[in-house]
Structure 1
Amino acid sequence: MSSFSRMLLVYDGTSEAQAALHRCSQLSLALSAPVDVVAVVDTEAVNASSGGLLTDVAYTHLKEIARNTLSDAVSHLASIGIAANGYVKYGRIADVVARHAQTFNPDLIVLGHRAQARRWWSGRPAHADLAERLCGTTIVTVTLASA
């Protein structure tokens, strides 16, 4: 029996998240572990990048995109026989994932990462914050091969 009983995938539909979904699928099948998929609407970062002018219409659009993206990931997992639950959550990615992890106790967290220039509103990468906050939880950070 595997020591991993539950997995958490952070999914936003980007190429890196799709690579993380693929890796999570492989791990879930190998470990017979169910997956929670979390799509995060990070309104703080979006609001900062839009100069603080995030409208209700834009916020509603972000929520709808997150729901559709989440549905795609959960449907993909279900189509290959993986038990998956989906959650749309709101806030900073590291905060949301840490709260979810404290509530649902995943043994393994899988997320995509894109190396990019740091911006004043983006802060540290989510996986760096999570590694400090969630001692004892395995974090798999999936990146894309350089072109």
Structure 2
Amino acid sequence: MSSLFRMLLVYDGTAESQAALSRCSQLSLALSAAVDVVSVVDPAGANAHSAGMLSDLAYSRLEEFARHTLQTAIGKLADSGVTAHGYLTFGRTADAVSRHAANFNSDIVVVGHRTQKGFLRWLGERPVHLDLAERLRGSTIVTVTLPSA
């Protein structure tokens, strides 16, 4: 069976990305879509959070964690009856996802999002889905948030 759609799931193991995985699974089954899962290692972001002191050991632990997270996502999709291919990429999340979506002609990109509140809304980084919406012309961006408590 050939797929009419190609989906890309951005997965990092957070509760938001787990909700995105669930939505991606539902969409994939409904649309008979092929699924790629991408997990991004952002050494520049991690280095900034560690005040420029990211060691080789810490870098390898980031990569190891991302590989484990990627395998977890592929396993959860398989449990739902979805066959997925996993990719580990490096760089800023918006850059890496945009590059992957363009190279693999992704029709739908599914990403989890945490709504920021208060000062974090103004001080935090720009949400990835906004950058992706500007960069990925012709792709549908599905942003999944957690229900409010």
Normalised-by-shorter TM-score class: over 0.9
Change (3 A) 1:119 1:45: farther
Match of 1:97 in 2: 97
Match of 2:32 in 1: 32
Change (3 A) 1:48 1:119: farther
The count of aligned residue pairs is 145
Q: How does 1:3-82 map to 2 (within 5 A)?
A: 4-82=4-82
Superposition RMSD on alpha carbons, in Å?
Answer: 1.7
Question: Any idea what the Cα deviations from partners look like across 1:30-60, whole Å, max 9, x if unmatched?
Answer: 0011100000011111111110111101000
> What percent of counterpart residues are identical?
62
Query: 2: CA distance between counterparts of 1:36 and 1:101?
Result: 9
Q: How does 1:118-137 map to 2 (within 5 A)?
A: 123-137=125-139
Deviation at 1:119, TM superposition (A): 7.8
Tell whether the 8 Å contact from 1:4 to 1:108 is kept in structure 2 after alignment.
no
Change (3 A) 1:119 1:67: farther
TM-score (structure 1 length as normaliser)? 0.93
Tell me, which stretches of 5 or more residues in structure 2 are unaligned?
Answer: none
Query: 1: CA distance between counterparts of 2:81 and 2:146?
Result: 25
Query: 2: CA distance between counterparts of 1:55 and 1:76?
Result: 32
Tell me, which stretches of 5 or more residues in structure 1 are unaligned?
Answer: none
